[in-house]
Structures are given as structure tokens and as C-alpha cells.
Amino acid sequence: MNTKELEKSEFAIGQLAFNDATLSASGKVSCASCHSPSAGFSAPNALAFQPGGKYLEAHGLRASQPLGYLVYNTAFHWDEKGTPTGGFFWDGRANSLAEQAMGPLLGEREMANPDKSSVVQKISQSQWADLFKKTYGANILNDVDAAFLKLTQAVETFQKNSPLLNAFSSKYDAYLRGEIQLEAAEARGLALFNDEEKGNCASCHPSDKDKKGRHPLFTDFTYDNLGVPRNLEIIENNNPKYFDLGLCDKPDLKERKDLCGAFKVPTLRNAGVRQVYFHNGKFKSLKDALTFYVQRDTHPEKWYPKDAKGKVLKFDDLPVALHSNVNVKEVPYQKKKGEQPTLNDQEIDDVIAFIHTLTDGWKDQTRR
Ligand code: HEC
Ligand code: HEC
């Protein structure tokens, strides 16, 4: 095979593997089960975690992440200002898409294969075993480490090159190309999204073309601590001693207590077709997610539980000693209790109308 043919085969293998539930111990779970094309390659439903494990009995700890546009992500690093940037997973612990793919294939809460050799055995029984051998050599399946590595690289090649995952085919992309205008509500939403005194959303979810004219990704792949309320749907969260600490759970950042509670900024592309939001799946609609953003500090009683004396337990998903990590300085989180939220109800609806322009596969109804 020449390089082009090899790339094509590798893409095909990656795509087949991504959709193949026979790669899991249960025989029922594929990557696509938790990363559905109908939902921006994230959770196909409103569950905080998706069933996994050998008997689909396992409880996941976090919500499925959206997989679009990750070809533009990098390994974890500190940018020139010292900001934690890049990495895969909500806490950045994998350095590439291939490394990431090992997680679910071998994870007991996901596809639950006990070891690499059981994955390679499943490849040899798959419908694409011949293509795998043709692509990587007749004896590839005899070398467990090499075959497993090739599988993860193929899954990476699929994610990086799939036109579905990296489409730039939303209404907003057509608008940026100068082909169409936005509706009035969408245009108001965009202005609020960008306004540093109002939504200030673009400071973490960039919305402009970059210097080279590339369309925005609506994530800068950095991390932030939003103080998202605890979600008891995540079974472990019923143990009061358990906390998902995000970025400081990354093995080399255990000492960086200041980073505890920070999670990676997700892209807002295709957020309009997701049914569950944030790392713990706490919110099930954009309306709730955005109202939380602007009312977290003005109306904390709406979002957090109360103790026996009626005191609101703000930031209840972090140990008290770490509450000071929550971002309370930037717009839209800088308000105090009782103040007016930075966005009112109508403005929230406008921002939501704008977020819906970020859904890929948009077709201009006015053209033929
Ligand atoms: C049982 C559900 C489940 C299955 C199966 C699953 N994932 Fe995921 N995926 C998740 C969850 C949950 C996360 C976030 C986990 C975390 O942060 O610890 C995630 C995160 C990811 C990420 C990181 C995205 C980012 O922005 O950093 C990628 C890439 C990914 N999955 C790809 C895959 C691939 C490829 C497969 C198949 C080999 C797969 N997933 C199988 C649930 C699943
Ligand atoms: C300071 C950085 C920052 C700002 C400003 C910001 N976000 Fe976010 N956004 C994040 C981070 C980090 C997450 C993930 C947090 C988590 O899961 O704990 C997130 C998550 C989201 C999600 C959930 C997406 C998903 O798939 O789970 C939505 C929707 C969202 N932001 C919209 C907005 C809007 C609209 C604004 C402006 C009103 C905004 N964000 C302002 C950092 C930011």
C-alpha cells in the first residue's frame, strides 16, 4: 500500500472500530454508544453517565464529552501565560487521541476488556480482521502490543479526518463566509455572547476567526472552575467523602490544589443537539445551563441544596477548603447575591438562539 491507501484503510478501520460493539466485553457498547453522531458525538440521551462494564452494570463518573474538532486540540501543556491548556478527557490526562482511546477499551466502567490481548482477540474475530491484516501486515495480530497500538491510532485517524466530526457546516459558518445573515434573535445572541460586560462567553469559547482566517472552535482548550452543583445521578456522589476534582486528579498535578475543580472547556459547536451539559451532566437543557451561569451568585438558592439550618451550601461539589478555586472574578460570574444577573431571561433565549446556529449539517432553505 502507498501512503494514501494506507491512510484510507486506517481511516476505514478507525470508523469500523468506533462503531463496533463487539470490541467491548459486554458485546453491547461501542465508542458510538456514548459518542453519538446525532448529539455532536456526545451522550445520545440525557443521562449523566452511560452504561458500561461487562454486564452494563458499571456506573461512570462523568458525562460523555463531545468529540468534534479535537483534531485541533494538543497534548496538555502550559501556554506562554502559564495557563493549563490542551490534553484529552475532562481533566486532560491523555496526551493524544490514540492514548485516550486506550482508556475506554480497557476501562472497567466502559468497554471493560481485561487486557490488550482480549482486545486483539476481538479484532481477529471482527468483520474487518482481513482489512486490519492487509493494512498492518499478515502477522500483526500475533503481536498484541503492536496490534493494540495500531487500533488506537486508527481510531485517532478516523476522529481527525472524519468530515462528520470536523464539518464546519453550521449556519454560523455560512454566516462567517458571508453567505447569509443571522436572524435578529441569533444576531442579538451573538452580540451578547461576545460582549465582555454581558455574556463574556467568547473569552473561553472563542467565536471569531483566528489570524489565519480559520473558523472558531468555541473552545480554547483551557480549564476553568465553574462551581457546577453536585449531581447525585453520579452514583459515587452519594458518598459525601467523594469529590471529582478534575484537573488536579491528573497524576502529575496532584500537588496543585489551586487547579482542583477545574475542567476542560468543551466546544459549543453542536451544543444545541446535546441533552446533557457539564462534566457531571448536572444540567439537561441550555436554558438551565445558561441560567445557572448568570444566576449562580445572584440566586444561589436556586442551584444548591440547603443545610438543616437553611443555609445554602454554595459550591457543594467541592470540599470547603477548595471553594476559593471557583471563578468569581470574570463576567458573568462576578455578581453578588441579590444583584441583577448580567443576562435576563430574554437575553438568555437570544444566546441560546445563537448557540443553535452552531449545529453542523445546516442547509440554507432559501437556496436550491
Ligand atoms: C461508556 C461510555 C463511553 C464509551 C464506551 C466511550 N467513551 Fe469516550 N468518553 C466517555 C466519558 C464519560 C468521557 C469523559 C471521561 C473523563 O473525563 O474521565 C469520554 C471522553 C472521551 C474523549 C475525550 C474528549 C476530549 O475533549 O478530551 C475522547 C476523544 C473519547 N472519549 C473517545 C472515545 C473512543 C474513541 C471510544 C471507543 C474506543 C470511547 N470514547 C468510548 C464515555 C465513553
Ligand atoms: C472563564 C471561562 C468560561 C466562560 C467565561 C464561559 N464558559 Fe462555558 N464553559 C467553561 C467550562 C470550563 C465549561 C465546563 C465546566 C464543567 O463541566 O465543569 C463550560 C461549559 C459550558 C457549557 C456546557 C457544554 C457541554 O457540552 O457540557 C455551555 C452550554 C457553556 N459553557 C456556555 C457558555 C456561555 C453561553 C457562556 C457565556 C454566558 C459561557 N459558557 C462562558 C468555561 C467558560
**pLDDT value at residue 367:** 63
Q: Does 156 sit in the ligand 1 pocket, CB within 6 Å?
A: no
**How many angstroms separate the CA atoms of 291 and 257, rounded?**
28
Test site for ligand 2: of 64, 69, 201, 291, most ligand atoms within 8 A of the Cβ = 201
Residue pair 72/66 in contact by the 8 Å Cβ criterion? no
Residue pair 68/360 in contact by the 8 Å Cβ criterion? yes
Distance 277 CA to ligand 2 centre (A): 9
Distance 286 CA to ligand 1 centre (A): 22
**How many angstroms separate the CA atoms of 166 and 361, rounded?**
11
Residue pair 55/39 in contact by the 8 Å Cβ criterion? no
Regions of the chain short of the pLDDT cut 70: 366-368
Q: Give Cα separations from 106 to 20, 101, 110, 156, 216 (angstroms).
A: 15, 9, 8, 16, 34
Residues in the chain: 368
Distance 219 CA to ligand 2 centre (A): 9
**How many angstroms separate the CA atoms of 63 and 274, rounded?**
11
Residues 6+ apart with CB under 8 A from 132: 13, 123, 126, 140, 141, 147, 150, 151
pLDDT per residue over 236-250, tens digit each? 999 999 999 999 999
Q: Does 33 sit in the ligand 1 pocket, CB within 6 Å?
A: yes
**pLDDT value at residue 366:** 67
CB count in 10 Å sphere of residue 361: 12
Residue pair 301/359 in contact by the 8 Å Cβ criterion? no
Closest-approaching ligand to the CA atom of 17:
1
Kindly give the number of the ligand 1 atom that is closest to the alpha carbon of 110.
1
**pLDDT value at residue 1:** 84
**How many angstroms separate the CA atoms of 356 and 210, rounded?**
21
Distance 265 CA to ligand 2 centre (A): 6
